[in-house]
Amino acid sequence: MSAVQSTPETREGWDGTETVSPSARARKRLSSPGASTAAIIIAVLWTLPTFGLFLSSFRPEEEIKNNGWWNWFTDPQLTLENYREVLFGSRTELSTYVINSVAITVPSVVIPVSLALLAAYAFAWMKFPFRDTLFVAVFALQIVPIQIALVPLLQIFVDVGLNGTFWPLWIAHSTFALPLAVYLLHNFMRDIPVELIEAARVDGAGHVKIFGTIMLPLIMPAIAAFCVFQFLWVWNDLLVALTFAGSTSDVAPLTARIAELVGTRGTEWHLLSAGAFVAMIIPVLVFLTLQRFFVRGLLAGSVKG
């Protein structure tokens, strides 16, 4: 009587029969022709409006205002005038606002991540009075809506003379990102085996050594995942930008300028479509660059064993 050899996708039942694991059954269903067809249809429907907007960004102004983008297939007319006007035209100068968005977004990502890493390590692996109480208080700050704090923050920035600079935007974005960053990074640090930390302490490593050589490499996926979320949030933000920066070309980000391209009657569609894709380029590049770490960061801790 031959024994049944089990595999990671199968297991032997109490009666000696071989059963398929739930993960194998789910994988089989998701790889079926029906699931693949449904995924393709959803992908096409999801990307069709984006493709239409992309095609419209290259069409002449008259064509965009007079007929839909699908008419390009019967009357193919393309031009780069929309992008030239958006980036370098005297009415738009979108290149200046792109630089402003980069100047706003990068520090607004680096500052909360740097502070949250230190705070998360302290809450996870250092003992001090009222540690748990302070952590709950930091976590509870996530429920504070950013809208109720905009006007008081604006008044403070005006009083201290920071209005009209990048500092209000950096401080506002960093402040409201810190609770989530601390909570997320703390949970990832707590998942690191305690035996690894104890072994480092036996070898004489202090908190600085443990943080730099053990924690940072292991939680890099979590850092990348938060950086992607924060980058996309700050890059696409309009409310905070309008409150603290207005529409001045010295400080205002790309989103504020694109909102103005619509015009009071929505007549600048040829510039809006081109400007939308200019605004999409950098976030797409950031996501594609950190995609591998981003997926690992989302899945980390979801599977044990």
Residue with more model confidence, 52 or 262: 52
> Do residues 191 and 301 lie in contact, with contact meaning Cβ atoms separated by under 8 Å?
yes
The Cα–Cα gap between 258 and 94 comes to: 8
Residue 104 confidence (pLDDT): 93
Helix (H/G/I), strand (E/B), else coil: 101 = helix
Residue 85, CA distances (Å) to 25, 60, 131, 276 in order: 54, 12, 55, 13
Model confidence pLDDT, tens digit, residues 147-201: 888 888 888 888 888 888 899 999 999 999 999 899 888 888 888 888 888 888 8
- pTM given for the model: 0.76
Residue 29 confidence (pLDDT): 64
Q: Which CATH superfamily is domain 94-299 in?
A: MetI-like (1.10.3720.10)
Q: Give the residue extent of every domain in the chain.
A: 2-79, 94-299
Residue 11: name the closest of 19, 3, 22 by CA: 19
Most confident of 113-122, 267-276, 286-295: 113-122
